[in-house]
């Protein structure tokens, strides 16, 4: 393998020249206390850190950045930490998804505009992972993703609690009058008890695992709990490896192929991962010039068993999953479903990376004959209600709802739903189909995780715990239920969802992959002609940029001008 020379480094344009600008860059580096021997002729490694006081999932990232730096120094590189906007799932409103592309742009432009030769990307809380990767794929410098790692299991009176999943579960119990205020407060204090991202198979665990399966993290990295000292050592190893990757000039687009995306999708399916993966992986693929569609997820779903017995689909949590062998163990158990010849950041192949991986607890990572779901854990639906596709996670739904016909109860937007869902006069029965409009990429805006629509209180009190629910929203990976999500085109742009009225019959047939509004075409056309496009949400600012360029869910919700691999010029240094 040919290796770069120091004068081939991108940073050499800043540091290596004898001109006035070169002196400026070196004198300002000296100002920070570094001698020429600290950095000259060495790969400059940008450590893009999404640490923030407002992001509990990344609370350990200041320390981890130091551990990455240790590895970079050891390997003969020059580490430069670069803070980037954090996307803190619990706190950022209306939704972190509104800002995923902002972090992607920031990542790409940080790396472009500063003297970076390679990058370590520190993320984990939901959208941070795809955002960092999207930016890094577009910039295409050598890069490794450093996953935050899952937090420890939650604890309540000796029971394990899972992020999100148990909040929804016990909130339903509280609304049904089955939980005291004191118990509820104890849950509040026990459900998140260490740094690290959600420790169910939510979007965070899904996307960090998908990134590792893509080949963009060190093997085994995604499963290590954040508070485990092995996580710190993985951070240092990441710092060491990125320096070599710069010399080898091993870049994301050398690693990403249609087959590596198949590996990532297969991993997500075998994990019972979040439906958010569809949006994010499609966006990442398009950044790499790879045409990934919803149909590929459905195809791979038909052959991939769900093996990770992790909530919300299963019983355990990410900490258990790690002790049972983690993603490495799981992937090693399905070699026939993977393309093992794909390269990874290690410089070796996925198959070589998985050498020696084993499963240590077959109740947590199940053998195929005991799969939670043998196939079809995720399904892509089409029909006159979702011409461009919609998604459901059958494994998370009550099975009698997977083939269902019922009358719609329509909410025009979230406020309408919040105001009426618990109205005792709401004409809802367990067979009703709850429909929420204006929850998509443009309508909400930001396609929030509202897709696990609440069940009307009066039905909860009757013991109903699942209903067919349909929206153009996303759903948290920690949620569950018969929720049809990502309906495209969304209602806000006049998709058929916008035309649904109370009492319309909606039919779902997961086996047939169909979602049908039982209204004839002429009536649908009449309603469409009478439909009035809502006013835009934003007159200025980032929101105006967002609404002018966001694509639909089936296209990945990227900005149209960020897709593709058209070359972008290096900055002039004058
Ligand atoms: Fe950060 Fe769930 S809140 S991953």
Q: Which of 126, 191, 201, 205 to mutate to test the pocket of ligand 1 (most atoms within 8 A of CB)?
A: 126
Indicate if the pLDDT at residue 557 is higher than 70. Answer: yes
Helix (H, G, I), strand (E, B) or coil at 242: helix
Separation CA 326–CA 359 (nearest Å):
8
Encode pLDDT of 286-309 as tens digits.
Answer: 999 999 999 999 999 999 999 999
Q: Is 320 in the pocket of ligand 1 (CB under 6 A)?
A: no
CA of 310 to the centre of ligand 1 (A): 16
Indicate if the pLDDT at residue 210 is higher than 70. Answer: yes
Q: Is 89 in the pocket of ligand 1 (CB under 6 A)?
A: yes
Q: Is 150 in the pocket of ligand 1 (CB under 6 A)?
A: no
Separation CA 139–CA 300 (nearest Å):
29
What was the pLDDT predicted at 99?
98
- Indicate the pLDDT class of residue 220, thresholds 50, 70 and 90: very high
535 burial level (CB within 10 Å; 0-12, 13-18, 19+): exposed
CA of 61 to the centre of ligand 1 (A): 14
Q: Is 410 in the pocket of ligand 1 (CB under 6 A)?
A: no
Separation CA 496–CA 440 (nearest Å):
13
Q: Is 57 in the pocket of ligand 1 (CB under 6 A)?
A: yes
Query: Percent of the chain beyond pLDDT 70?
Result: 100
What was the pLDDT predicted at 395?
79
- Indicate the pLDDT class of residue 1, thresholds 50, 70 and 90: low
Return the closest-CA partner of residue 46 out of 103, 99, 108, 128: 108
Q: What is the DSSP letter of 456?
A: P
For residues 316 and 396, the model is more confident at 316
Global confidence as pTM: 0.96
Q: Is 318 in the pocket of ligand 1 (CB under 6 A)?
A: no
CA of 470 to the centre of ligand 1 (A): 24
- Indicate the pLDDT class of residue 431, thresholds 50, 70 and 90: very high
Q: Is 490 in the pocket of ligand 1 (CB under 6 A)?
A: no
Query: Percent of the chain beyond pLDDT 90?
Result: 93
Q: What is the DSSP letter of 214?
A: H
Separation CA 233–CA 500 (nearest Å):
54
**DSSP E strands: which ranges in 150-308?**
154-156, 159-161
Indicate if the pLDDT at residue 410 is higher than 90. Answer: yes
Q: Give the residue-averaged pLDDT of 59-78.
A: 98
Q: Give the residue-averaged pLDDT of 77-96.
A: 97
- Indicate the pLDDT class of residue 346, thresholds 50, 70 and 90: very high
Task: Please give the full DSSP string across 167-202, using - where no structure is assigned.
Answer: HHHHHHHHHTT-S-HHHHHHHHHHS--SSSB-SSSS
What was the pLDDT predicted at 176?
82
Q: Is 449 in the pocket of ligand 1 (CB under 6 A)?
A: no
Q: Give the residue-averaged pLDDT of 34-62.
A: 98
Encode pLDDT of 151-204 as tens digits.
Answer: 999 999 999 999 988 888 888 888 888 899 999 999 999 999 999 999 999 999
Q: Give the residue-averaged pLDDT of 275-291.
A: 97
- Indicate the pLDDT class of residue 316, thresholds 50, 70 and 90: very high
CA of 58 to the centre of ligand 1 (A): 9
Asked whether the beta carbons of 338 and 260 are under 8 A apart, the reply is no
CA of 127 to the centre of ligand 1 (A): 9
CA of 228 to the centre of ligand 1 (A): 18
Q: Is 96 in the pocket of ligand 1 (CB under 6 A)?
A: no
Mean pLDDT of the chain: 96
Q: Give the residue-averaged pLDDT of 316-323.
A: 98
Q: Whose CA is nearest to atom 1 of ligand 1?
A: 125
Q: Is 201 in the pocket of ligand 1 (CB under 6 A)?
A: no
Element (H, E) at 281: helix 276-287
Indicate if the pLDDT at residue 478 is higher than 90. Answer: no
Q: Is 563 in the pocket of ligand 1 (CB under 6 A)?
A: no
Q: Which of 154, 198, 280 to mutate to test the pocket of ligand 1 (most atoms within 8 A of CB)?
A: 198
Q: Whose CA is nearest to atom 3 of ligand 1?
A: 89
CA of 144 to the centre of ligand 1 (A): 21
Encode pLDDT of 106-141 as tens digits.
Answer: 999 999 999 999 999 999 999 999 999 999 999 999
Cis before 277? omega within 30:
no
Q: Which of 92, 99, 163 to mutate to test the pocket of ligand 1 (most atoms within 8 A of CB)?
A: 163
The half-sphere exposure of 156 on its side-chain side, counting CA atoms within 13 A, is: 17
- Indicate the pLDDT class of residue 331, thresholds 50, 70 and 90: very high
Q: Which of 96, 99, 204 to mutate to test the pocket of ligand 1 (most atoms within 8 A of CB)?
A: 204
CA of 38 to the centre of ligand 1 (A): 37
Q: What is the DSSP letter of 146?
A: E
Q: Whose CA is nearest to atom 2 of ligand 1?
A: 198
Q: Is 122 in the pocket of ligand 1 (CB under 6 A)?
A: no
CA of 316 to the centre of ligand 1 (A): 18
Q: Is 197 in the pocket of ligand 1 (CB under 6 A)?
A: yes
Atom of ligand 1 nearest to the CA of 56: 1
């Amino acid at each position: 393998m040919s290796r770069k020379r120091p004068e081939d480094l991108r940073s050499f344009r800043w540091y290596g020249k004898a001109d006035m600008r070169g002196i400026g860059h070196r004198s300002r580096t000296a100002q920070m206390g570094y001698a020429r021997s600290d950095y000259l002729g060495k790969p400059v490694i940008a450590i893009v850190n999404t640490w923030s006081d407002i992001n509990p999932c990344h609370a350990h990232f200041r320390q981890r950045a130091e551990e990455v730096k240790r590895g970079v120094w050891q390997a003969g590189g020059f580490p430069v930490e670069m803070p980037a906007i954090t996307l803190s799932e619990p706190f950022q409103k209306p939704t972190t998804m509104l800002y995923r592309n902002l972090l992607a742009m920031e990542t790409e432009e940080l790396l472009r505009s500063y003297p970076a030769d390679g990058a370590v990307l520190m993320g984990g809380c939901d959208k941070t992972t795809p955002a960092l990767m999207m930016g890094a794929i577009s910039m295409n410098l050598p890069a490794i993703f450093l996953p935050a790692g899952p937090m420890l299991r939650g604890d309540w009176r000796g029971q394990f609690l899972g992020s999100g999943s148990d909040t929804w579960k016990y909130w339903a119990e509280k609304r049904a009058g089955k939980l005291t205020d004191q118990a509820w407060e104890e849950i509040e204090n026990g459900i998140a008890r260490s740094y690290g991202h959600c420790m169910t198979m939510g979007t965070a665990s899904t996307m960090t695992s998908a990134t590792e399966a893509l080949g963009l993290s060190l093997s085994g990295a995604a499963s290590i709990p954040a508070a485990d000292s092995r996580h710190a050592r993985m951070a240092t190893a990441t710092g060491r490896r990125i320096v070599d990757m710069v010399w080898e000039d091993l870049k994301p687009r050398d690693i990403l192929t249609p087959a590596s995306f198949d590996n990532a999708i297969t991993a997500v399916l075998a994990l019972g991962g979040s439906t958010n993966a569809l949006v994010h992986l499609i966006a990442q693929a398009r950044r790499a010039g790879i045409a990934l569609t919803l149909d590929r997820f459905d195809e791979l779903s038909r052959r991939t068993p769900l093996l990770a017995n992790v909530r919300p689909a299963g019983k355990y949590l990410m900490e258990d999953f790690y002790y049972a062998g983690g993603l490495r163990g799981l992937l090693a158990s399905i070699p026939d479903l993977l393309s093992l010849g794909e390269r990874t950041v290690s410089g070796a192949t996925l198959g070589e990376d998985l050498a020696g991986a084993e499963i240590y607890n077959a109740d947590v990572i199940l053998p195929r004959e005991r799969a939670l779901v043998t196939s079809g854990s995720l399904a892509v639906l089409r029909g006159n209600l979702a011409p461009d596709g919609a998604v459901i996670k059958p494994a998370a739904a009550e099975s009698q709802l997977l083939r269902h016909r019922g009358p719609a109860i329509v909410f025009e937007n979230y406020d309408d739903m919040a105001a009426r869902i618990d109205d005792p006069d709401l004409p809802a029965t367990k067979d009703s189909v709850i429909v929420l409009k204006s929850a998509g990429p443009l309508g909400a805006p930001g396609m929030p995780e509202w897709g696990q629509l609440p069940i009307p209180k009066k039905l909860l009190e009757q013991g109903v715990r699942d209903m067919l629910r349909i929206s153009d929203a996303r759903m948290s990976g920690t949620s569950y239920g018969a929720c049809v999500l990502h309906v495209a085109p969304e209602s806000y742009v006049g998709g058929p969802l916008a035309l649904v009225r109370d009492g319309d019959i909606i039919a779902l047939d997961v086996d047939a992959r169909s979602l049908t509004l039982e209204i004839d075409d002429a009536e649908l056309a009449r309603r469409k002609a009478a439909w009035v496009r809502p006013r835009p949400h934003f007159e200025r600012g980032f929101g105006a940029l967002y609404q002018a360029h966001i694509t639909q869910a089936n296209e990945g919700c990227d900005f149209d001008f960020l897709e593709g691999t058209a070359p972008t010029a290096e900055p002039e240094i004058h």
